[in-house]
Amino acid sequence: MSRNAESTAFRSALEVVRGVEPRVADAIAAELADQRESLKLIASENYASPATLLAMGNWFSDKYAEGTVGRRFYAGCQNVDTVEALAAEHARELFGASHAYVQPHSGIDANLVAFWAILADRVESPALRKAQARQVNDLTEADWFALRRELGNQRMLGMSLDAGGHLTHGFRPNISGKMFDQRSYGTDPATGLIDYDRVDEAAREFKPLILVAGYSAYPRKVNFRIMREIADSVGATFMVDMAHFAGLVAGKVFTGDFDPVPHAHIVTTTTHKSLRGPRGGMVLCGPELADQVDRGCPMVLGGPLPHVMAAKAVALAEARRPDFADYAQRIVDNAQALADGLLRRGATLVTGGTDNHLVLIDVSGYGLTGRQAEQALLDSGIVTNRNSVPQDPNGAWYTSGIRIGTPALTTRGLGAAEMDATAELIHTVLSQTTPGTGPDGAPSKAKYVLDPAVAESVGKQAADLLTPFPLYPSVDLA
């Protein structure tokens, strides 16, 4: 698509929206302006292409399409079948998977589909067999009671939240922590790295039905071959949530033991983050779980979102292009350059560096909580998010860490020199910020003090850093 065509498309769309609710059109335009002016370092965010964005705004939004390709509960879904089949085809080819399910609306939806598919496949229950055979009317109240007890009493072993795991891997307030008899594995207190011997010990003691690997704040690779061996040794189904690093798998930066697809029984992911697609989820698996996964709707999901599946097809097609592999490698190169720049300036990093797209700063070395650091950086035009560190004394709300990632800035074209400059800006803000006090004069975990002149200066430097790397240069809304 030409630059003029993209500008025309987005201008026209906003003009139509403005004719109905101008405040929405203004908010959309303001969001583009804000993103253009901020150093976006949130590890789970990226910038989807204009083609991907435009694929979401169309008549597919008007369709219900429960079921799967060729087996819908609604008529008139032939065009939905086309885009869903294309998205699944691109996913299979991109990741080397035998089956792809592209309907999940989000990462947690993808994980729920995987959990229930595993339960349906593994749990031996006469009541469950009746339900799967669509003999629901034959189930007695005793059957239902037994079914609830059996499906809700299985064991899952996943990475703990403070060690870098995700809340959907068994965090108690999340549905995953309520569905399963759950236990977590952490990291070595001295190194912050996964200790596979300890994971093995925990698995042999706990004997989970599901062993989950994957992370949202672990800055290193995971050896999925070893994790699969651990799962096999206790008869567990091995599930990997690669939502954060799917782009590194797609771009063949993670291969061999570090590519989860050949080793896991089932893999889940989001389609945004490092994969640079629309917000959504996806499940990859082998033929033994394919039928159960395809029951995601209505088992867990409501009606699929055909307009988002269309955008997934576009983004996955983009990821199959040769230049995506270069992009994925630059994500890691930039993360390592950013980590090196922070280390040279005295910052403390969890695990001492990174192998992937993210860096986790322990801001307690600056005398701050994660919440204080997050807000001080935001005041200075640097968008990050606070995050727990291993054995975090401040808990999951205030935290002691800041998680930063490079997928978005890499999309804009920034490189190693800009990462070093970014490290300097981050260090300047954190070193110039001090904890504040509450109304009673006691130390506060939320309030902080930062000279507005420092925030203004850093914000200007951040904007200057971004000037040579315009965001969506083909889109002019003026």
Residues in contact with 85: Cβ distance below 8 Å, sequence separation at least 6, in sequence order: 69
| Percent of the chain surpassing pLDDT 90 | 83
* pLDDT reported for residue 425: 98
* pLDDT reported for residue 298: 85
Q: How far apart are CA 197 and CA 214, in angstroms?
A: 17
Q: How far apart are CA 226 and CA 374, in angstroms?
A: 36
Of the listed ranges 51-60, 154-163, 341-350, 458-467, the one predicted with least confidence: 154-163
* pLDDT reported for residue 132: 61
Using CA atoms, how far residue 159 sits from 44, 241, 398, in Å, is 18, 11, 20
Strands 39-40 and 382-383: parallel
Of the listed ranges 45-54, 140-149, 364-373, 402-411, the one predicted with least confidence: 140-149
pLDDT for 123 beyond 90? no
* Contact (Cβ atoms closer than 8 angstroms) between residue 377 and residue 429: yes
* pLDDT reported for residue 232: 96
40, 72, 220, 273: the active-site residue: 273
User: Mapping DSSP to helix (H, G, I), strand (E, B) and coil, where does residue 100 land?
Assistant: strand
Handedness of CA 41, 273, 181, 265 (dihedral sign): negative
* Contact (Cβ atoms closer than 8 angstroms) between residue 336 and residue 219: no
Catalytic residue list contains 31: no
pLDDT for 139 beyond 70? no
241, 259, 379, 392: the active-site residue: 241
72, 279, 312, 403: the active-site residue: 279
Q: What is the arithmetic mean of pLDDT over 282-293?
A: 95
Q: 134: pLDDT confidence band, cut at 50, 70 and 90? A: low
What integer best gives the mean pLDDT of the chain?
Answer: 93
User: Distance between the two ends of the chain, CA-based, in angstroms?
Assistant: 19
45, 64, 200, 447: the active-site residue: 64
237, 270, 384, 411: the active-site residue: 270
8, 45, 63, 66: the active-site residue: 66
Task: Please write down the long-range contacts of 448-456, taking CB distance under 8 Å and 24 or more positions apart.
Answer: 448/368, 448/372, 448/375, 448/376, 450/376, 450/379, 450/380, 454/380, 454/428, 454/429, 455/376, 455/379, 455/380, 455/429
Catalytic residue list contains 64: yes
Q: How far apart are CA 217 and CA 5, in angstroms?
A: 39
* pLDDT reported for residue 441: 82
pLDDT for 1 beyond 60? no
| Percent of the chain surpassing pLDDT 70 | 96
Q: How far apart are CA 377 and CA 387, in angstroms?
A: 14
Q: What is the arithmetic mean of pLDDT over 442-448?
A: 91
Alpha helix (H) ranges present in 259-390? Answer: 287-293, 296-299, 306-319, 322-344, 370-379
Handedness of CA 317, 323, 328, 331 (dihedral sign): negative
pLDDT for 136 beyond 60? no
Q: What is the arithmetic mean of pLDDT over 194-215?
A: 96
Catalytic residue list contains 312: no
* pLDDT reported for residue 151: 73
Catalytic residue list contains 273: yes
* pLDDT reported for residue 130: 66
Domains and CATH numbers, the chain: 59-123+154-319 (3.40.640.10), 326-466 (3.90.1150.10)
Which residues sit opposite 402 in a β-bridge?
361, 386
Using CA atoms, how far residue 456 sits from 53, 58, 376, 380, 404, in Å, is 32, 41, 11, 6, 21
Note the pLDDT tens digit of each residue in 420-431. Answer: 999 999 999 999
Q: What is the pTM of this model?
A: 0.92
User: Mapping DSSP to helix (H, G, I), strand (E, B) and coil, where does residue 180 land?
Assistant: coil
Of the listed ranges 147-151, 222-226, 366-370, the one predicted with least confidence: 147-151
* pLDDT reported for residue 163: 87
Q: What is the arithmetic mean of pLDDT over 185-194?
A: 94
